Structure 1
C-alpha cells in the first residue's frame, strides 16, 4: 500500500478529533460540495481543506493538486496526518497515494467516502460520512 491506510468514517472522525495536527481534505468537485454538502469543518476547529482531485467537467486530474495542498498548509516532512475524503472512497485513494509520494502525511483514505456507493435502490447515501451521522452541512 502506497499510503498509510484506510479508515472507516468513524475512525477518521476519531483521528481528526483526537489529533490536533490532523487535517481533513475533501477531494470532490466544487459541484459536489455545493449540491451534496461538506463535512462541517467548524467541528474540527477549521482543520479542513477543499481541494479537487479531478476537475469538472473534464474529469482530468487537477494539475494544481499538490500546490493547493501546500496553500492549505500541508508541507512535505511535517508528518501531519492527512485524511482524504471523496464521494465513495475511490478518488481519495489516488489523492492519498499522490500525497504520500510527495512526502505528505501519513495520508489516509476514508472508506465509503462522504455518501458511499450506489445502494440496492439505485441511490447513494446509505453509507459513508453522512450516513454515519458525522457533522456535515450544506456549503
Structure 2
C-alpha cells in the first residue's frame, strides 16, 4: 500500500484518470461533512451496526472497479486511519495498487481536539463539496 499526503494523492489522481477514488466513511460523514467531487462512496462500516465486513467491502469495491483488480484504488476516510485496514482488505482480495490518503479528509486532531486546522484534504484546499 502506498501512503500519499492529500496534495500528492490529488496529483496521483490527476496522473491516473483510470484510478478508482473511494471514500470509506459512513454515509452521514460523506454527505454532511463533505467529500471530494467524483469520489465513490463505499463505507468500511456503517451506523448503527458499526461492524466491519471486510469481505463485503472488498466485493463492493471490486464491483466499482468493474472486476479489474489491477485498477488503482485511492482510499479516503476522516483521518487516514480507516483506510489502512480497508486497503489491507483490498490487497488481500487481490488489488495490486492501493493508495491511502494520509490525514484523510478532515485531518488529525489539534490541541483543542478539533479536526481541520492541521492537515487533511479540506485543510489543504483541495476540491470538495457537501450536501
TM above 0.5, one fold? yes
Runs of 4+ in 1 over 2 A off after TM superposition: 73-77
| Structure-to-structure mapping, 1:1-139, within 5 angstroms | 4-41=1-38, 48-62=39-53, 64-77=56-69, 79-126=70-117, 127-139=119-131
Secondary structure at 2:83's aligned position in 1? helix
> What is the rounded CA distance, in whole Å, between the counterparts of 1:81 and 1:105 in structure 2?
7
Structure 2, gaps ≥5 residues long: none
RMSD: 1.5
User: Quick check: 2:20–2:65 contact (8 Å CA) kept in 1?
Assistant: no
Q: If the length of structure 2 is used for normalisation, what is the TM-score?
A: 0.90
Answer 1 or 2: which has greater strand percent: 1
Label 1:115 to 1:61 Cα distance change in 2 as closer, same or farther (>3 A).
Answer: same
- Deviations along 1:16-55, one digit per CA (max 9) or x if unpaired, are 01112112110000010122001111xxxxxx31100012
1:74 deviates by 4.7
Q: What is the TM-score with the length of structure 1 in the denominator? A: 0.86
Residues 113-133 of structure 1, C-alpha deviation per residue, up to 9 Å, x if partnerless? 000121112211121000011
Gaps of 5+ in 1: 42-47
Instruction: State whether residues 74 and 104 of structure 1, in contact with CA within 8 Å, keep that contact through their aligned partners in structure 2.
Output: no
2:61 is paired with a residue whose SS is: helix
**1:42-94 deviation digits (Å, cap 9, x = unpaired):** xxxxxx311000121222114521221122125354x2111101000000011
Once residues 74 and 48 of structure 2 are traced to their aligned partners in structure 1, the CA distance between those partners, rounded to angstroms, is: 25
